[in-house]
């Protein structure tokens, strides 16, 4: 994900890495580099620019990009047992 550096900076210090004023910009650059490295290796990557979307906008985008599960999440209905076996 990419993000607006000022927006990340406005969130304030949450851990020691936030004390570095260059950290938000470095984080954006590192995420971009990681995405490009994965794409170059034919890994499916969803790149989202969160500087223009709110979290409530991003969540459905991520959900829509997920593949359908290969197995159903609900158990099948009770199987019928053939008579006379």
Give me the torsion for CA of 46, 2, 27, 60, rounded to 10°. -60
What per-residue confidence (pLDDT) applies to 3?
62
Chain mean pLDDT for the chain: 79
CB 14 within 8 Å of CB 44: no
Read off the pLDDT of residues 4-24 as tens digits, 9 standing for 90 and up.
Answer: 667 666 666 566 666 777 887
Query: Which tokens hold the place of 17?
Result: 């890495």
Spell out the domain ranges in the chain.
5-65
What's the Cα-to-Cα distance from 22 to each of 14, 68, 73, 77, rounded to whole Å? 15, 39, 44, 56
Number of H helices and number of E strands within the chain? 3, 0
Greatest pairwise CA separation for the chain in angstroms: 76
């Amino acid at each position: 994900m990419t993000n607006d550096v000022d927006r990340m900076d406005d969130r304030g210090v949450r851990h020691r890495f936030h004390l570095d004023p260059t950290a938000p910009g470095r984080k954006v650059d590192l995420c971009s580099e990681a995405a490009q490295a994965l794409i170059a290796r034919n890994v499916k990557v969803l790149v989202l620019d969160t500087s223009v979307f709110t979290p409530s906008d991003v969540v459905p985008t991520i959900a829509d990009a997920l593949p359908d599960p290969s197995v159903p999440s609900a158990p099948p209905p009770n199987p019928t047992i053939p008579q006379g076996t």
